[in-house]
Amino acid sequence: MLVGAFAVAHTPQLLARPETEDREIVLRVHAAFARVKHRLEALRPDVIAMVAGDHIEAFFLNGVPAFAVYAGLEAAGTFGRYRYRFPIHEPLARAILEQGVERGFDLFSTQDAPLDYAFYVPLHFTMPAPAVPLVPLHVNAYLPPQPTPRRCYDWGATLGGILGARPERVVLMASGGMSHFPGTDRYASPDVEWDRHVLDVLRDGRGRELAALTGEELDKTGNVELRTWITLLGAVGAARADVYAYEPSWHHGNAVVEWPV
């Protein structure tokens, strides 16, 4: 069963804390992460199913899946000096993979791929102890042609159906966003206004409308990673978002959100 749903930023500067950052903004996002951690402790999930956009880390140009399920024994990765490793909930990973394919989604699977920092950064701050097993779910965010927002939403709806019928207590997390333009000349100009409109729509429980966005619009607003949120929205339906934090920095619209399920 689905017991919780969250969207979390994974901005690496939240972890690395370089002097380029506004300390107060970072600490307010940390406080929002702490709220998520408390909620996870209260929800007592058996597994965290986490949807993240791969930063060309697990998958390079020799194989670019639209949607992937990590079904290995454990998943590990590095980011600079940081080393991390999480146990995988293999029964749920297999159920998502097998039932997802059965329901019409031609999912890619892997049992051995580096775990991107998109998973690690928020889990560094939110993972209860002892660690809850993970099911990493990839959505292609950065390598065109990415799946359409509509397809992400539909996959999320199917995913929600699969999770809802499972015996495990599952928390669904979407990692990514909001507006940022890494590697481009717009890096210092995130589209904060657009982000705020999206958050208003989500507070109203109208997340379904994001399925009508185009891939181009996500690119233009620095929100290619919003595909992870849109996937989650397919699973949570018309639930109204509780926005814990929206803390835009000079380069990144940091958001932390919960949906009641």
Contact residues toward another protein (CB under 8 A) are 12, 16-19, 21, 23, 26, 55-57, 60-61, 78, 80-81, 114, 142-145, 148, 181-187, 193-194, 197-198, 200-201, 206, 209, 212-217, 219-222, 224
CB of 30 to another protein, least distance (A): 11
Copy the structure tokens of residue 215: 């891939």
Nearer to another protein by C-beta: 41 or 200? 200
Residue where the block lists tokens 């990415």: 146
CB of 97 to another protein, least distance (A): 25
Query: DSSP letter string over 176-201?
Result: --SS--TTSTTTT---HHHHHHHHHH
CB of 10 to another protein, least distance (A): 13
Residue pair 232/7 in contact by the 8 Å Cβ criterion: yes
Nearer to another protein by C-beta: 2 or 213? 213
Nearest to 145 by CA among 64, 226, 210: 64
Copy the structure tokens of residue 217: 């619009």
Query: DSSP letter string over 147-162?
Result: PPHHHHHHHHHHHHHH
CB of 164 to another protein, least distance (A): 27
Q: Which amino acid is at 49?
A: A
- Across the chain, how many H-helices and E-strands are there? 8, 10
CB of 63 to another protein, least distance (A): 13
CB of 248 to another protein, least distance (A): 15
Nearer to another protein by C-beta: 39 or 180? 180
Nearer to another protein by C-beta: 60 or 250? 60
Q: How far apart are CA 191 and CA 173, in angstroms?
A: 23
Q: What is the DSSP-derived secondary structure letter of residue 92?
A: H
Copy the structure tokens of residue 28: 């307010």
Nearer to another protein by C-beta: 126 or 140? 140
Nearer to another protein by C-beta: 155 or 194? 194
Q: How far apart are CA 207 and CA 145, in angstroms?
A: 23
